[in-house]
Amino acid sequence: MDLTLIPGSRIVEVARLAFATPDVDFLCFGESDQPSPAAARDAAVKALNDGDTRYPDVRGLPVLRETLSGYLSGLHARPVAGSRIQVTASGMAAITVAMAAVVRAGHRVVIPGPLWPNIANAARLRGAVVEMLDLDTLPDGGFRLDLDRLDTMMDGARALVLNSPGNPTGWTATEAELRAILGIARRHGAWVISDEVYSRLVYDGRAAAPSMLDIAEPDERVIVCNSFSKTWVMTGWRLGWLVVPEGTQEQVVDIVEAIHSGVAPFIQRAGVAAVGDIGTMERFRTHCATGRDLATQALAGLNGVRYRPPAGAFYAFVAVDGLTDSLDLAKKLVTRHGVAVAPGVAFGSAGEGWLRVCFAQSAPLMERAMQRLRDGIRAEMGS
């Protein structure tokens, strides 16, 4: 068979091994062990009981688009009209729709990394030439985006895909950096696809990370992707959205019609309820902050490990001195030490030598799993 090939997921490879191994703590998926909001669950059940199961408006239910408009306008420096919002079947669907709208075969797409592999694969499926811009690694385990290198690479590029706060690194662009990035894209006439699914998961007291919605004009070449999965603990619901430039709504809805033809209305009703449930979002951020603290405490003083607590998202990205095969180590951590983490190589060649730990877990799980991770790294790396 002549099928399009993209690299398989190393995270799934580790997870399948973990599923087949008794007594393994899962820290490898980008998912919490916390339940989705009761308000969302109740709203979905009510909608199902009310028979709200017919074909939806492909743009998204008007009530959800207006709810998201109010939410985003209150969160960011500039208002976001409901007419600019397109509901999608997950954050990944939002990225796929954005790629379909912007990218054609042969286009160059620049993506800072390490990053979640599905983003680059979505560009490759469009026939794009993906060029990775590796973040600079700092001595303390942090990251920095080299804006001069970005400017050089954007010459002739069709699009920049930016993920801030980032998966797996937790790197989070400052507003000044976002303004510089947007300025570079403008000078080169390029699109910006901004993946902001972790925007509410920041740990410096702000309500949200700096966003392209704070600085971009409503009609310029910026598409912002977001999701209910992370902020509202709704990973399995598959509900996301796009904010598209003014004047492009009809073109984008035609793409959604061709890709997945809208989102189940009972799922959208759950989204409306979730946005109104501010308490769940705040509690979840506190939950993640606790997990972040536990990860930091467990990794402190571990020889051969470099790690800086991330500014955003819910991952500890851990550099291990001397590690040249992170997939092999991740598998050994499963089979020999009972803990599943994501190998850094899953996020591109720049991630080799690192491990990603999802700390959005309950304290008892984090404490046990991080002790297993400490013991495993010491045993396998001789640290």
When pLDDT is cut at 50, 70 and 90, the band that residue 358 belongs to is: very high
Q: Which CATH class is domain 10-36+279-377?
A: alpha beta
Question: For residue 134, what pLDDT is reported?
Answer: 97
pTM: 0.96
pLDDT per position as a tens digit, 246-263: 999 999 999 999 999 999
Q: Peptide bond before 168: cis, by omega within 30 degrees of 0? A: yes
Q: What is the dihedral of CA 11, 14, 20, 22, to 10 degrees?
A: -110
Stated length of the chain: 383
Question: For residue 206, what pLDDT is reported?
Answer: 96
* From 270-274, 275-279, 315-319, 331-335, the region with the lowest mean pLDDT: 275-279
**Which residues neighbour 86 within 8 Å (Cβ) at sequence distance 6 or greater?**
59, 60, 94, 97, 241, 242, 244, 249, 252, 253, 256
Question: For residue 2, what pLDDT is reported?
Answer: 58
pLDDT per position as a tens digit, 10-59: 999 999 999 999 999 999 999 999 999 999 999 999 999 999 999 999 99
Question: For residue 1, what pLDDT is reported?
Answer: 46
Q: What is the rounded average pLDDT of the residues 279-293?
A: 96
Question: For residue 163, what pLDDT is reported?
Answer: 98
Locate the domains of the chain by residue range.
10-36+279-377, 38-276
- Determine the Cα–Cα distance for residues 306 and 104; give it in Å rounded to an integer: 40
Residue reference for tokens 């720049």: 350
Q: Which two tokens stand for residue 333?
A: 């951590």
When pLDDT is cut at 50, 70 and 90, the band that residue 169 belongs to is: very high
Residue reference for tokens 């286009």: 107
Strands annotated E in the chain: 25-26, 85-88, 108-113, 129-134, 136-137, 143-144, 159-163, 191-195, 222-227, 240-243, 305-306, 315-320, 339-340, 342-343, 354-358
State the chain's mean pLDDT as an integer: 96
Question: For residue 53, what pLDDT is reported?
Answer: 97
Q: Which one, of 153, 106, 105, 163, lies nearest residue 131 by Cα?
A: 153
In terms of phi and psi (left: phi > 0; alpha: psi -120 to 50; beta: otherwise), the region of 302 is: beta
When pLDDT is cut at 50, 70 and 90, the band that residue 4 belongs to is: low
- Give the residues across from 25 on adjacent strands: 339
Q: What is the rounded average pLDDT of the residues 213-219?
A: 98
Helix axes 265-276, 62-75, angle to 10 degrees: 30
CATH architecture of 38-276: 3-Layer(aba) Sandwich (3.40)
When pLDDT is cut at 50, 70 and 90, the band that residue 6 belongs to is: confident
Helix axes 10-19, 326-337, angle to 10 degrees: 10
When pLDDT is cut at 50, 70 and 90, the band that residue 193 belongs to is: very high
pLDDT per position as a tens digit, 99-149: 999 999 999 999 999 999 999 999 999 999 999 999 999 988 899 999 999
- Determine the Cα–Cα distance for residues 25 and 43; give it in Å rounded to an integer: 32
When pLDDT is cut at 50, 70 and 90, the band that residue 3 belongs to is: low
State how far the alpha carbon of 267 is from the alpha carbons of 48, 104, 228, 261, in Å: 9, 31, 11, 14
Q: Which one, of 267, 254, 237, lies nearest residue 58 by Cα?
A: 254
- Determine the Cα–Cα distance for residues 262 and 60; give it in Å rounded to an integer: 7
Q: Strands 305-306 and 342-343, how do they pair?
A: unpaired
Return the amino acid letter for 43.
A
**Which residues neighbour 62 within 8 Å (Cβ) at sequence distance 6 or greater?**
82
